[in-house]
Amino acid sequence: MPVENKRLSLFGVPLPLVKGLAFTLKTFFTKPITYQYPEQKREPAARWRGLHRLKKDEKGLLKCVACGLCEAVCPANVITVEAKETPDGRRFPDRFVVEVTRCIFCGYCQEACPKDAIELTTNYEFCGYTREEFHLGRDVLAKT
Ligand code: SF4
Ligand code: SF4
């Protein structure tokens, strides 16, 4: 036999249902907010995970040392890193590609990077006509 909880009901109607209906009613009479995109842009939340960026140091060099950790940790397997060394022994990514169409924007690459060399920006505006256009290379990612 069901036990009636009086604190969870209002005149016999379950309180969560009343709250839900009240919210629906309030929203129904609220003026809708419409952004006239792309003229009007909505500011994404600070924690928004958008397009990747390869960060640079104060000398303007890529911070990435091509260790491959982001490539290894990526659950969607969309990062390709190929390392090279300068004559003075500094490692850098000769090739760094992110296949953005398959990326799930989890942010693991950013978290795994030991050099703070990659980040997900708040940029959500990227488009193209072919898949290849979404294979973003090192130089494009450095300019994001
Ligand atoms: S955000 Fe996630 S899925 Fe996308 S490249 Fe980074 S680790 Fe891979
Ligand atoms: S971005 Fe960071 S984790 Fe990825 S290869 Fe470069 S240094 Fe390593």
Nearest ligand by distance to the CA of 109: 1
Regions in the chain scoring below 70 on pLDDT: 1-7
Looking at the structure, tell me whether residues 23 and 61 fall in a common domain: no
Looking at the structure, tell me whether residues 17 and 78 fall in a common domain: no
Report pLDDT for 56: 97
Report pLDDT for 4: 57
* Cβ atoms of residues 85 and 91 within 8 Å: yes
What CATH number is associated with residue 75?
A: 3.30.70.3270
Using the atom order of ligand 1, give the atom closest to the CA of residue 104: 3
Q: Is residue 25 part of a domain?
A: yes
Which of 53, 57, 69 to probe ligand 2 with, by most ligand atoms within 8 A of CB?
69
Residue among 34, 50, 89, 43 nearest 66 (CA) = 89
Q: Is residue 116 part of a domain?
A: yes
User: Ligand 1 center to residue 68 CA distance, Å?
Assistant: 13
Looking at the structure, tell me whether residues 81 and 138 fall in a common domain: yes
Q: Is residue 60 part of a domain?
A: yes
Query: Pairing relation of β-strands 79-85 and 118-120?
Result: unpaired
Here the contacts of 124-133 (C-beta below 8 Å, separation 24 or greater) are 124/44, 124/48, 124/50, 124/51, 125/38, 126/51, 126/100, 131/101
Looking at the structure, tell me whether residues 60 and 107 fall in a common domain: yes
The pLDDT tens digits of the residues spanning 81-123 come to 999 999 999 999 999 999 999 999 999 999 999 999 999 999 9
C-alpha 13: how far from chain center: 42
Q: Which domain holds residue 27?
A: 1-32
Report pLDDT for 57: 95
Q: Count of domains in the chain?
A: 2
User: Ligand 2 center to residue 114 CA distance, Å?
Assistant: 7
Q: Is residue 74 part of a domain?
A: yes
Looking at the structure, tell me whether residues 18 and 84 fall in a common domain: no
Looking at the structure, tell me whether residues 56 and 1 fall in a common domain: no
The CB of 66 under 6 Å from ligand 1? The reply is no
Report pLDDT for 9: 76
Q: Is residue 38 part of a domain?
A: no
